[in-house]
């Protein structure tokens, strides 16, 4: 039998009963669609977590006082908790470690902040101009803290979008714009500060108020002996490990600690956070896909069941074909082709359906989804394989029929 003839015979056999064929394919369609949708959700969450962590700052290392916590310092150290990181430490890092692009020293704490009749308990970060580069903070309006601000201990403040909304909303205007804030004086912990800038929206900066480091030390914290955090930007992705190790060793030496497990500080590598989060999401993705694959298995069993029924129904036809000269191989190929055709077409429909489901999910639930080509190709491969695996047994049953008995079958 030529390939073209095989295709024609297969096509006419499969289209004899379109309802039955569609129902049989449905199992595969649903199976593939669920796997594609699940993988899309998993991959989407993986890349969105990755990009939100990376938006915190490229090549970022965070040095915090206190022992290792899971995921490093996503939470700011409170004043009074571990006072082991000093400004001298920061200076030592600058002079002693190579491949540092920028460094930002911070003291932070939560303080009651008031404007007219609005108040909020805000996270206040006293820092330097370099913070904006290191932590990837962009401005909506106005300017960030400058080196001059730090030198002069000026009473300038830069506020985030959420702080803007909390402090400057009025009964007439619930969504204040930056220009309504800039130039005005707010009171942080009873001290007057002039608003000189509003940051662009970002998950980190929204809730913060930035003031010059020196001002925070003298007026808010009341001490210039220690820092809450030192953020370091490594010169490139490839130097991050070296910078991390050098800072760690430097501080261990300075703090006179011989055993690194009893360090009184933590150096967190942002890419470690990213890969930890990635491995969680990829496990999550695999789990989702595995669950979805169960429906694929059921779909395959449905195919096998239908093919067995078809073979029984067409027993006489099989006997006839054999009598006319079809060999076992011809019959096997014929029925295998039918099941592969159904699963392959089911796979195509499933991929398209899964893709639509993924798009619908991102649209309605704002969970990001992404489908990569390798997974799509794998889905096609899997659906063809299911056709072969689950169609094989029925096809062999058909091929092994005895033509004499088959022709007598009622």
Partner 1 sequence: MPNIIECRNIKKVYRNGDIETVVLKGITFSVEEGEFVAIMGPSGSGKSTMMHILGALDTPTSGEYLLDGKNIAQMSQDELSEIRLDKIGFVFQAFNLLPRATVLRNVALPLIYAGVPKAERERIAEQCLTESAFPKEFWNHYSNQISGGMMQRVAIARSLVNNPAMILADEPTGNLDSVTGEIVLHTFQSLNAEHGKTIVLITHESYVAEHADRIIHILDGQILSDEKNHHKRIAGHETQPIK
Residue for token digits 């985030």?
A: 160
Q: Is 141 in the site for partner 1 (CB under 8 A)?
A: no
Q: How far is the CB of 327 from partner 1 (least distance, A)?
A: 5
**Does 96 help bind partner 1 (rule: CB under 8 A)?**
no
Interface stretch with partner 1, choices 9-17, 105-113, 166-174, 379-387 (CB under 8 A): 9-17
Cα-Cα-Cα-Cα dihedral sign, residues 27, 33, 35, 38 = negative
Shortest spacing between CB 26 and partner 1, in angstroms:
23
**Distance between CA atoms of 268 and 279, rounded to whole angstroms?**
17
Dist CA 173 CA 164 (whole Å): 12
Contact call for residue 409 and partner 1 (CB under 8 A): no
114 lines the binding site for partner 1 (CB under 8 A):
no
Compute the distance between CA of residue 182 and CA of residue 167 in angstroms, rounded to an integer. Answer: 12
Count the residues of the shown chain that bind partner 1, applying the rule CB under 8 A. 24
For residue 355, give every residue at least 6 positions away whose Cβ sits within 8 Å of its Cβ, in sequence order, or none.
Answer: 36, 40, 371
**362 closest CA partner among 32, 54, 48, 55:** 48
Cα 212 from Cα 201, distance rounded (Å): 20
* Of the candidate residues 16, 287, 360, 388, the single one contacting partner 1 (CB under 8 A): 16
Query: CA angle at residue 65 from 110 to 207, to 5 degrees?
Result: 30
Q: Which two tokens stand for residue 339?
A: 């099941």
For partner 1, the closer of residues 135 and 314 by Cβ is 314
Query: Considering only 41-49, 154-162, 282-290, 326-334, which stretch makes contact with partner 1 by CB under 8 A?
Result: 326-334
Q: Verify binding: residue 378, partner 1, rule CB under 8 A.
A: no
Cβ 313 to partner 1 shortest distance, Å: 12
322 in Cβ contact with 403 (< 8 Å): yes
- Under the binding rule (CB under 8 A), the answer on residue 74 touching partner 1 is no
Among 98-106, 161-169, 225-233, 399-407, which window interacts with partner 1 (CB under 8 A)?
A: 399-407
- Binding-site string for partner 1 from residue 330 to residue 359, where x marks contact by CB under 8 A and - marks none: x-----------------------------
**Residue 251 or 406 having the CB closest to partner 1:** 406
The single residue among 124, 240, 326, 386 that binds partner 1, judged by CB under 8 A, is 326
294 binds partner 1 (CB under 8 A): no
In the complex, minimum distance from the CB of residue 19 to partner 1, in angstroms, rounded to a whole number:
15
255 interacts with partner 1 by CB under 8 A: no
**Integer-rounded Cα radius of gyration of the chain:** 33
CB closer to partner 1, 141 vs 330? 330
Cα distance between residue 318 and residue 396, in whole Å? 12
- Cα separation, 407 vs 322, in Å, equals 10
* Element housing 121 (H / E): strand 118-127
Measured N-to-C along each axis, helices 328-365 and 373-399 cross at an angle, to the nearest 10 degrees, of 150
Shortest distance, CB of residue 302 to partner 1, whole angstroms? 24
**H-assigned helices in 180-327:** 213-215, 240-254, 270-313, 315-324
Which of 2, 95, 171, 261 is the binder for partner 1 (CB under 8 A)?
A: 2
- Would you say 122 and 209 are in contact if contact means Cβ atoms under 8 Å apart? yes
The residue from 136, 328, 352, 385 that contacts partner 1 (CB under 8 A) is 328
Which of 66, 87, 96, 403 touches partner 1 (CB under 8 A)? Answer: 403
Min separation Cβ 408 and partner 1, Å: 9
The CB-of-1 to partner 1 minimum distance in angstroms stands at 6
Beta bridge partners of residue 120, listed in sequence order? 113
State the Cα–Cα distance between residues 369 and 388, nearest whole angstrom.
31
Residue 397 found at the interface with partner 1 (CB under 8 A): no
Three-class SS of residue 84? coil
In the range 305-324, which residues lie near partner 1 by CB under 8 A?
Answer: 316-317, 319-324
What is the binding site for partner 1 (CB under 8 A)? Answer: 1-2, 4-5, 9, 12, 16, 316-317, 319-330, 403-404, 407
């Amino acid at each position: 039998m030529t390939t073209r003839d095989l295709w024609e015979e297969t096509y006419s056999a499969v289209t004899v009963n379109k309802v039955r064929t569609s129902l049989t394919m449905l199992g595969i369609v649903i199976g593939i669609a669920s796997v594609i949708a699940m993988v899309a959700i998993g991959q989407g969450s993986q890349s969105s977590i990755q990009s939100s962590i990376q938006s915190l700052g490229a090549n970022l290392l965070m040095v915090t006082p206190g022992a290792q916590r899971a995921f490093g310092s996503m939470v700011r150290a409170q004043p009074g908790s571990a006072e082991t990181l000093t400004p001298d430490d920061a200076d030592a890092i600058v002079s002693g470690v190579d491949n540092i692009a920028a460094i930002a020293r911070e003291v932070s704490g939560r303080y009651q902040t008031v404007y007219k009749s609005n108040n909020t308990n805000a996270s206040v970060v006293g820092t330097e101009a370099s913070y904006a580069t290191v932590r990837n903070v962009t401005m909506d309006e106005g300017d960030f803290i400058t080196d001059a601000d730090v030198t002069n201990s000026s009473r300038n403040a830069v506020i985030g979008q959420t702080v803007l909304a909390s402090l400057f909303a009025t009964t007439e205007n619930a969504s204040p714009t930056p220009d309504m804030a800039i130039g005005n004086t707010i009171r942080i912990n009873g001290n007057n500060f002039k608003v000189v800038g509003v940051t662009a929206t970002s998950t980190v900066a929204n809730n913060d108020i930035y003031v010059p480091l020196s001002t925070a030390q003298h007026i808010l914290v009341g001490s210039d002996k220690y820092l809450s955090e030192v953020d370091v930007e490594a010169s490139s992705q490839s130097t991050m490990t070296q910078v991390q190790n050098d800072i760690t060793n430097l501080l261990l030496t300075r703090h006179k600690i011989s055993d690194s497990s009893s360090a009184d500080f933590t150096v967190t590598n942002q890419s470690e956070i990213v890969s930890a989060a990635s491995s969680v999401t990829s496990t999550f993705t695999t789990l989702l896909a595995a669950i979805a694959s169960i429906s694929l298995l059921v779909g395959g069993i449905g195919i096998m069941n239908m093919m067995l029924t078809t073979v029984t129904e067409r027993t006489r036809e099989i006997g006839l074909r054999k009598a006319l000269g079809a060999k076992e191989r011809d019959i096997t190929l014929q029925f295998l082709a039918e099941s592969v055709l159904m699963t392959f077409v089911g796979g195509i429909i499933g991929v398209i359906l899964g893709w639509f489901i993924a798009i619908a999910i991102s649209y309605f639930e704002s969970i990001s989804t992404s489908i990569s080509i390798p997974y799509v190709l794998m889905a096609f491969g899997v659906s063809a394989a299911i056709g072969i695996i689950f169609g094989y047994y029925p096809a062999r049953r058909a091929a092994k029929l005895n033509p004499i008995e088959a022709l007598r079958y009622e």
